[in-house]
Structure 1
């Protein structure tokens, strides 16, 4: 039985996963997700797609906010940029979907240089306001560039066909989202255990000490912006394909709040926390609606007509509760439960 997290070698310290049960449970989870399209109905499958797409974007934001400690409220700006980049390349200029996904990552990454470079000396609230301003600016640019983006009319997007494989059906598109989610998860885990990831965490914990140790704050902060924007742009492309129509109205500011809520609820700086937080936050409105619908049909109709307002309220309540009672998020709760189980009956 595992009795702690003590590491004896550097290899054990940076290993991706050193526990066979974790690999086993991870394999069972992936197998369950692969089997899900054959079991779930279309309504439940749509939630699974949203969970996977949201997870990709949250993992991207986790690199910037969770690993590096740079608070961003402009997450939705990178989402909409990635969605429009894919839509313009694939739907308007009829390029290959893989080129579209590459553009969905590269274009937001280049845009992050514009917002990241002037923000290198900022932190906390000032950085958050700067990124928020970027999201409003990018929306205005999209609406004004009618020759490229069709302005407020938006762009229709078809589900892709890659190397003869069609992702038109919900089941096939779920597998595409699952592939992106798994690759992104492995990428972020490997970034975290690399020299770059350790530099990110050092900047987050104490940027002055990191500078003394020889870490180039400007370079690593900018790299965090670029990496986060690239991954977030891919999530935006997937979300645009899911909606079948890309427009500014499809990417409200609430998505930025949702992403931050996921990180706070799941646990900042943790890939497992991003997974747990995504599942909770995405399914929370629907679970709340189902519970209240048992008592009154009128409440059920309120959830239908005022979905955005109720989502905002639920996110606010959840954030307040977790900050007050469990600042480490769901991953902190999981660590407490695991420690209690490992040390039983000597936990006291």
Structure 2
């Protein structure tokens, strides 16, 4: 039984994990995810695909809000920019899908720097309102873009062939989303344990103390916006490939609320929390829909006639419940369960 966490070298402090059990379970989980399409039906496979590219978007806002403490209500704007950058790249400019996917990260990153400038003087609610205004500006600009952006009709795109892999089938696209998700998780984990990540966390905890210790607030706040927007833009591009059409109506404000709900429910500042929160929040409406269908009557028509409103209520209830009863989120609950298992029966 493990009795301590004594470290002898600095490299042991920054390693992703020093637990053989965690490494084994991680490999088993990845093997299960790779083999999942062979056992899942079309509905569950589609649901898993949505979870995978939503995890990428959640990691984007986790860098900004979870790591750096900068609240954003307009992250859907970066999601739209990533989706439209990819769609315009492949359909209007004739770029290869690989280059268009890179553009889907670069374009939101540039706008992230622009939006990040007000964060140097704004905090809390004022910054949140600024980012919200940014998302509305992006929506209005895309609607006024005429034929280039598709205006209200949007842009129709087909699933591409990337690096020789045809993504037209649901299985192939699932594996592509899995690869993107794993890459995003690794990037975010390594960012968190780097000097840049530790500086972001220091700014989140106390920006005055961080500046006193020599951390450049301007540099790291702008870096947080840049990295967050780039990751979110990639999520927007994969979402566009999945839907098949890019339009402003596909990116409602509810997506920003969903992103905040994910990091609150999962656990603020944790990559594991972003993953757990995504699984919970994305599955919550489906579970509610299954329950109402089982109960029958008028409840069975709720998710059909008022799906948007029901999702808003469910997300709000989830946020309130976790903030009231366990602000640590699902990550904290998971750590309690793991701690009880590892140290049983000595835990008290």
| Paired residues for 1:1-348 under 5 Å | 1-348=1-348
How many Å separate the matches in 2 of 1:330 and 1:282? Answer: 14
Shift of 1:117: 1.0
- Kept in 2: contact 1:155–1:245 (CA 8 A): yes
Shift of 1:162: 1.9
How many Å separate the matches in 1 of 2:4 and 2:275? Answer: 23
How many Å separate the matches in 2 of 1:151 and 1:58? Answer: 27
- Kept in 2: contact 1:3–1:342 (CA 8 A): no
- Kept in 2: contact 1:91–1:158 (CA 8 A): no
Partner SS state of residue 219, structure 1:
helix
How many Å separate the matches in 2 of 1:287 and 1:202? Answer: 38
Shift of 1:164: 2.9
Once the two structures are superposed, what CA deviation does each residue of 1:280-321 show, in whole Å capped at 9, x if it has no partner? Answer: 000011111112322224312211221111000000001100
How many Å separate the matches in 1 of 2:147 and 2:294? Answer: 50
Partner SS state of residue 152, structure 2:
helix
What is the TM-score normalised by the length of structure 2?
0.98
How many Å separate the matches in 2 of 1:224 and 1:6? Answer: 32
Aligned residues: 348
How many Å separate the matches in 2 of 1:299 and 1:96? Answer: 47
How many Å separate the matches in 2 of 1:291 and 1:92? Answer: 44
| Structure 1 unmatched ranges of 5 or more | none
Shift of 1:93: 1.7
How many Å separate the matches in 1 of 2:280 and 2:3? Answer: 29
Shift of 1:7: 3.4
Once the two structures are superposed, what CA deviation does each residue of 1:1-32 show, in whole Å capped at 9, x if it has no partner? Answer: 22344434322211111111111111111111
Partner SS state of residue 295, structure 2:
coil
Partner SS state of residue 153, structure 1:
coil
How many Å separate the matches in 1 of 2:176 and 2:212? Answer: 44
How many Å separate the matches in 2 of 1:150 and 1:295? Answer: 42
Shift of 1:344: 2.3
**Segment drifting more, 246-255 vs 335-344:** 335-344
Aligned-residue RMSD, C-alpha: 1.1
Once the two structures are superposed, what CA deviation does each residue of 1:254-293 show, in whole Å capped at 9, x if it has no partner? Answer: 0000000000000011011111000000001111111232
Partner SS state of residue 17, structure 2:
coil
Once the two structures are superposed, what CA deviation does each residue of 1:78-108 show, in whole Å capped at 9, x if it has no partner? Answer: 0000000000001222210011101100000
Question: Residues 252, 199 of structure 1: CA spacing in aligned structure 2 closer, same or farther, 3 A cutoff?
Answer: same
Once the two structures are superposed, what CA deviation does each residue of 1:213-260 show, in whole Å capped at 9, x if it has no partner? Answer: 000001000000000000000000000111100000000000000000
- Kept in 2: contact 1:74–1:128 (CA 8 A): yes
- Kept in 1: contact 2:118–2:127 (CA 8 A): no
Question: Residues 74, 5 of structure 1: CA spacing in aligned structure 2 closer, same or farther, 3 A cutoff?
Answer: farther
